[in-house]
Structure 1
Amino acid sequence: MMSFSFLPNAVLVLCVGALVQMLGVAIGRNVARDAVIGLLVLVASLVAVSMPTVLYMAGSVALFAPDVWASYSAVLIILSAIAIHIMSWRNAVVSDATVGSEYYLLLTLATLGGVSMTGAVHDVSFFLGLETLSLPLLGLIAFRNGRIDAGEAAMKYIVLSGVASAMLLFGFALTYLETGSLRFIAPNTGDMPEPLLATMGTVLVLSGMFFKLSAVPFHLWLADVLEGTSIPVAALVAVLSKIALFAAMVRYFASVNLYMSGPATNEVIAVAILSMVGGNLLALVQTDLRRMLAGSSIAHIGYLLVAFLSPGPLSFASSAFYLAAYSVSTLGIFALMAGIMPQGTDIRDWHGMFRRRPMAAAAMSIMLLSLAGIPPAVGFFAKFYIAAAGMAGGRLGLLLILVMSSVIGLYYYLRVIRIMLMPAPVERPEREVTSPWFGNGALIAVLACVTLLFGVFPGTLVDLGRNLIVMPSPPPGSSGQP
């Protein structure tokens, strides 16, 4: 029987859309027009996710999996990209003359890379997606041409990205040497003549993914990168790239029994513990909101790894729910920074915000309460769901650390709310705040409402998570019919 592969609709739409954007830039630069085209491309790719696949390739190697996990992750990535696009409008089109049409082209390409990674079942398709995400990110991080710290952030990012890519490729090479296959799946070392090579390859691949996820101890300069780049691009690094990498990691280990002790499992346990504790401690001492959110994102990766290490019916469902909750809450904070105080991300600049901008302060409080895991925000149920998965998987030690580290997180999240309630000290005058443009204001309102609604009525997301299926890479020579 003839074998078939396919190209996901969203990948196809984003590829065509990127070509259209390139053509628009070549014909004549118009930032407002190119911004609208970029937004239309993202919306079209979101619609395409739910449509029947249109492009099949006969007699080719399977590169992507047609499963619900890939579709769910792609929807989260595209929705995040749309939110980042909206919060970028004022800086890229109105305020900053150094930002051109390439900004939105790079955003589309980064989204293309992230969507490609979520369904990849072949080492080549995964790595191409990873680089398609990483290289535009490098350009976006350095896009603030007038600031020297943007160049520093880009240099630090390229070092981290290069090391991670090298580790991934070395790991793929060792795995291929042992298995003779480029399937994007952790090899089963139990029935191999030389399991050491496959084990080393798996550990290297996992370490490369942890570099990209910025998990402790692979986090290094994440806080510097988020501080040096613009607020929308910082959101791209903290949210979109994390969704893509975690979704790919779940697929890579979909066929591995993580109950069994081994080098890979032990590494994930160690990284989960270090990320939960180290991420919260890093955020605890920060005075810049972006640096605080860098530590927060590291801690939340640690929480997600608890569900990842708890195989069972709740593992995928709780991970999917937590990804959505984290994305909505974090994007909301970045949208508030971009709309209210784009030039002042120092936490002390938010003194008296409840008096100056009560609605914005209320929205910020909702997002912070969600990240802290306090009801009625969605983050409370997300952490509860993770805890349920951990209990079902017998990860009591990890759950104890999750609870203890979450207590640390309460301090720095609630500290921001306390600062917004207090007037500014005499020696530090209040920084001027701006009013968000209509689109960014609507985005903030929607994210705040979603954070509350899914916290009070989480049933829809829970039911959706229960139906998620992660299909491992098909074995070589397998065939299927479209």
Structure 2
Amino acid sequence: MIGHDVFLPTPLPVLCVGITVMLAATAWRRSVDRSFLSGMVTLLLALAFVGHHTGTAPDNGDSLFIQDRWTNYTAILIMLSSMCILLMSWRDGTHDRTTLVDEYPLLCMLGALGALTMVFSANYMPFFLGLEILGISLMGLVTFRHRPVMQGCEAAMKYLILSGVSSAILLFGVGLAYGVTGSLRFMPPITTGDVSPALPVAATVMILIGMFFKLSVVPFHMWLLDVMEGAPVPVAAFLAVVSKIAIFSALVRYFGTGDQPPFLNDILYVVIILTIIGGNLLALRQTSFTRLLACSSIAHVGYLLIAFLCPGRLQSGAITVYLAAYTASTLGVFAIVTAMITPERPDGTVIAQWKGLFFSHPFLASAMSLMLLSLAGIPPGIGFFAKFEIAATGVEHQRNLLLGVLIIGSIIGLYYYLNIIRVMMTAPPLPSASLNRHVRPELMALVIVLTVIVVIGGLFPARAIHPLLPVSPVVPAMQNEMTMH
């Protein structure tokens, strides 16, 4: 029986109560509008209670959950991103009545709950539970595609099989870690007593492989392109943003609260190089926005891993700033893509269909250009300062090889980002009435807000970014310094 003083971050029970209310309301009477509204209200309430908790954490550190500035920061990013994705998805629920989609916002909320559980986890049990809640909800979300149905089912099947294999590998590593340490505390296992030193190494590598698959780093990346292409555009945004933030937050927590194994640097060196070069080279061949953004997200994870590999006084700031820049810019691109998809233009994710966007929708084309330049690391977007912070961590630790890979990857990325801008500036061969359609007001408002965030973060980086520094737990010695800021 759970005691009344158990430590529990408040956003988790708020989301649980909200999801339960949504389930009961759906069983009583179906209403798409009410389901989406209930999801937004639940996320707003959970956001209002960030930083609050019930009970007190035990002094020995054997708690299921942990709460500090890092968890609060990533939780805020996840909840804000989930709200943006619900706004993108509102069309499917309120404008397309061909299918009852009350379950869609419910699955989005379950995915957000799984992501938050991973973020707040200080124990293997809630971490794996959150991982599976997130994965199962994504399998359902991927199939919510009206046209074509088989593509969504195929994408969900691929995710189901490969995600199950990676979860099994991760769970086997957790079992080995428990056998070595006798504890389920969320940190790398350390050999004690007469245990063979090969066991903790095997456990850490298996857990790392499971996380790498969820992050879709090279060579565990091929599933992401097909799954994001087969999923609805808002679900692809969920995969590219929310799930990546949750897994990376857990990765930082796992290796940031204890002694890092000596072989971790060698593994990360190889993975970073393959991920940055592989992700950018794959993007050169793509003709679909969703597949290109999948490749882009792979490359950006590689950039983040550079900062993860370089502990020091600049590391925390680099990670937090880059997460914010990547989240705002990527959500902005997906919001604009969602606005351009209509029943008359179901192929709106095809890059070639974006010809003439500067003539028909100059604001959306300008906002898209700004988001793409931010992702490429070009001023005036916030992405320039984010990538600069990543490079500064490499300079601080003299990671010359990784800095060279960062530069090469950024040059390749600049090519395919600028190519999209070139397509939008090209005059369409014939006037298209479908291009001159009215954009939904909630999507237009979302694009405006994200554009303002990207511009303010780029033009006034000191004022916009200073409140974020530093919150990452990668360097335990910095915890005292955090409270001084």
TM-score for both structures, normalised by structure 2: 0.92
1:328–1:451 contact (8 Å) kept in structure 2: yes
1:117–1:248 contact (8 Å) kept in structure 2: yes
SS at match of 1:394: coil
1:247 to 241, 246, 249: 249
Q: 1:130 to 1:460 in 2, by over 3 A?
A: farther
Matched residue type, 1:389: T
Match of 2:170 in 1: 168
SS at match of 1:186: coil
Query: Shift of residue 255 of structure 1?
Result: 3.7
Matched residue type, 1:421: M
Matched residue type, 2:403: L
Alignment partner of 1:466 is 2:469 = yes
1:450 to 425, 446, 453: 453
Alignment partner of 1:152 is 2:167 = no
**Mean Cα deviation higher: 395-404 or 91-100:** 91-100
Query: Shift of residue 195 of structure 1?
Result: 1.6
1:113–1:133 contact (8 Å) kept in structure 2: yes
Match of 2:354 in 1: 350
Show CA shifts across 1:264-285 (max 9, x none). 3222221111110000011111
Query: Shift of residue 84 of structure 1?
Result: 0.2
Alignment partner of 1:177 is 2:179 = yes
Give 1:192-341 correspondences, 5 Å limit: 193-256=195-258, 261-262=262-263, 264-341=264-341
1:121–1:472 contact (8 Å) kept in structure 2: no
Q: How far, CA to CA, are the matches of 2:76 and 2:257 in structure 1?
A: 24
Q: 1:152 to 1:195 in 2, by over 3 A?
A: same
Match of 2:442 in 1: 439
Matched residue type, 1:210: F
Q: 1:179 to 1:58 in 2, by over 3 A?
A: closer
Matched residue type, 2:386: A
1:4–1:61 contact (8 Å) kept in structure 2: no
Match of 2:42 in 1: 41
Q: How far, CA to CA, are the matches of 2:207 and 2:407 in structure 1?
A: 29
Show CA shifts across 1:63-83 (max 9, x none). 111211000000000000000
1:313–1:466 contact (8 Å) kept in structure 2: no
2:312–2:475 contact (8 Å) kept in structure 1: no
C-alpha RMSD over aligned residues: 2.3
The runs of 5 or more residues in structure 2 that have no matched partner are 477-485
Alignment partner of 1:113 is 2:114 = yes
Query: Shift of residue 458 of structure 1?
Result: 1.7
Give 1:400-419 correspondences, 5 Å limit: 400-419=404-423
Q: How far, CA to CA, are the matches of 1:227 and 1:72 in structure 2?
A: 30
SS at match of 1:467: coil
Query: Shift of residue 237 of structure 1?
Result: 0.5
Match of 1:127 in 2: 128
Q: How far, CA to CA, are the matches of 2:475 and 2:5 in structure 1?
A: 16
Matched residue type, 2:18: G
Show CA shifts across 1:146-185 (max 9, x none). 5210000100111221111111101101111111111110
Match of 1:480 in 2: none
Matched residue type, 1:177: G
Q: 1:469 to 1:216 in 2, by over 3 A?
A: closer
Query: Shift of residue 434 of structure 1?
Result: 3.5
Q: How far, CA to CA, are the matches of 2:475 and 2:178 in structure 1?
A: 17
SS at match of 2:256: coil
Match of 1:477 in 2: none
SS at match of 2:438: coil
**Mean Cα deviation higher: 448-457 or 191-200:** 191-200
SS at match of 2:7: strand
Q: How far, CA to CA, are the matches of 1:404 and 1:101 in structure 2?
A: 45
Match of 1:64 in 2: 65
SS at match of 1:287: coil
Q: How far, CA to CA, are the matches of 2:122 and 2:316 in structure 1?
A: 18
The runs of 5 or more residues in structure 1 that have no matched partner are 474-482
Match of 1:479 in 2: none
Query: Shift of residue 303 of structure 1?
Result: 0.2
Q: How far, CA to CA, are the matches of 1:222 and 1:348 in structure 2?
A: 22
SS at match of 2:53: coil
SS at match of 2:95: helix
Matched residue type, 1:42: L
Alignment partner of 1:382 is 2:386 = yes
SS at match of 2:64: coil
**Mean Cα deviation higher: 206-215 or 267-276:** 267-276
Show CA shifts across 1:191-215 (max 9, x none). 8742210011101101100100111
Match of 1:478 in 2: none
Query: Shift of residue 352 of structure 1?
Result: 0.7
Show CA shifts across 1:423-458 (max 9, x none). 1246x9786453321111100000011111101112
Q: 1:333 to 1:253 in 2, by over 3 A?
A: same
Q: How far, CA to CA, are the matches of 2:58 and 2:98 in structure 1?
A: 48
Query: Shift of residue 3 of structure 1?
Result: 12
Among all aligned residue pairs of Structure 1 and Structure 2, give the percentage whose two residues are the same amino acid. Answer: 45
Matched residue type, 2:380: P
2:257–2:473 contact (8 Å) kept in structure 1: no
Show CA shifts across 1:374-397 (max 9, x none). 001011000000111111223221
Match of 2:366 in 1: 362
TM-score for both structures, normalised by structure 1: 0.92
